[in-house]
Amino acid sequence: MRCRSCSLLELPRARQLEDKEQHARSLVPATTWLPSVAGPDDGFRNKAKMVVGGSSSEPTLGILDRSSAGVDLRDCRLHSPGLADALEVVAAFITLAGLSPYDVALRRGELKHVLLTESPDSELMLRLVVRSTADEARIRKHLPWLLEALPALRVMSLNIQPAHAAVLEGEREIVLTEQASLPMRLAGLELALRPQSFFQTNTLVAEALYAQARDWVGAIDPGTVWDLYCGVGGFALACMAPGRPTPRRVTGVEVSVEAVAAASASAPPGVTFVSADATDWALAQPGPPDLVVVNPPRRGIGPALAGWLEESGVEHVVYSSCNAQSLAEDLAAMPSLRPLEARVLDMFPHTSHYELMVLLARGDDSGQVHPAFGT
């Protein structure tokens, strides 16, 4: 294998899933385990993160080997067919525009990474991570060719990352197209993805993720919901209840200003998005909602937020985790919130990583939980 990222590629998929289920069950004592969501074996990734190597006349898009030479991975079988086809056009554009790949050893050149995202509607967002704006005029000059050669391209931007460091992207973004966000329509939701926003890399499994949240929240029927670490608002929008006699009030909280701007642009009545640190914001509120959704990064929600949830009196928590170990540590800090139902979603096939969703309900002193899902 030229790339070692998919460490389980040689292991049968059924065995991969079985091992993930066993790992999850060993860490989370849920009362009920729902059937796991697997998704396809190949062609599931909606985002390509490619290091640019080689030369402008013969660029490589993939990774760098130990000697910092480019290794081309345009044929990676994990990418969707749309991404694979588009990467060929992007490579041709690099040659046409004369963009020089960044040479790590010599610390010269401009183009560092190609970040390409495909929406469920097969539309594309392309981000070129560059060292400076030195090639901006040249890229703009040849942009009409790229838009004609790649008609699915809706958003293109330059991300400026000047540091000689293993950092994927920088803070500054220059949008080159009239359209600045990519519509992401899935699971009955319409989200908007801006260049520096996070979105799950496996579209079909992401649909199952939001559908599961909708089912749990619908059964509980809370009047107020917080979606902490909300990203572009997937869980927040999944938690809406359009036909409810009294509209459900949903608040999404996310530290990324770009993600909140994208979510707020199309937020329906009753849904509000706030740019803030999730823990700081929650601790500053006068009281809890009826239900909290948390979808933190791998480190988990941490002691401060877990402690607040434990003491807050909130009745239900939907916890979506990409790290079962940190989830287990957070659950230990919230003993009053007990895992009723759990589900493994294989967001990252051929690796040891997976998404784990858990519905937590507050129990009383006798060990009984509140009755949304029985006792």
* pLDDT at position 366 over 50: no
Instruction: Quote the pTM value.
Output: 0.92
Kindly report, residue by residue over 144-153, the tens digit of the pLDDT.
Answer: 999 999 999 9
Question: Which residues have CB under 8 Å from 327's CB, separation 6+?
Answer: 27, 28, 300, 319, 321, 356, 358
**Lowest pLDDT segment from 83-97, 216-230, 233-247, 333-347:** 233-247
CA distance 296 to 90: 33
Kindly report, residue by residue over 209-225, the tens digit of the pLDDT.
Answer: 999 999 999 999 999 99
| Contact indicator for 2, 71 with CB cutoff of 8 Å | yes
Instruction: Report, as residue numbers or ranges, the catalytic residues.
Output: 322
Question: Which residues have CB under 8 Å from 90's CB, separation 6+?
Answer: 61, 114, 116, 126, 146, 150
| Contact indicator for 274, 259 with CB cutoff of 8 Å | no
CA 55 to chain centre: 31
Cα dihedral 80, 81, 82, 84 in deg (nearest 10): 90
CA distance 279 to 354: 24
CA distance 361 to 331: 12
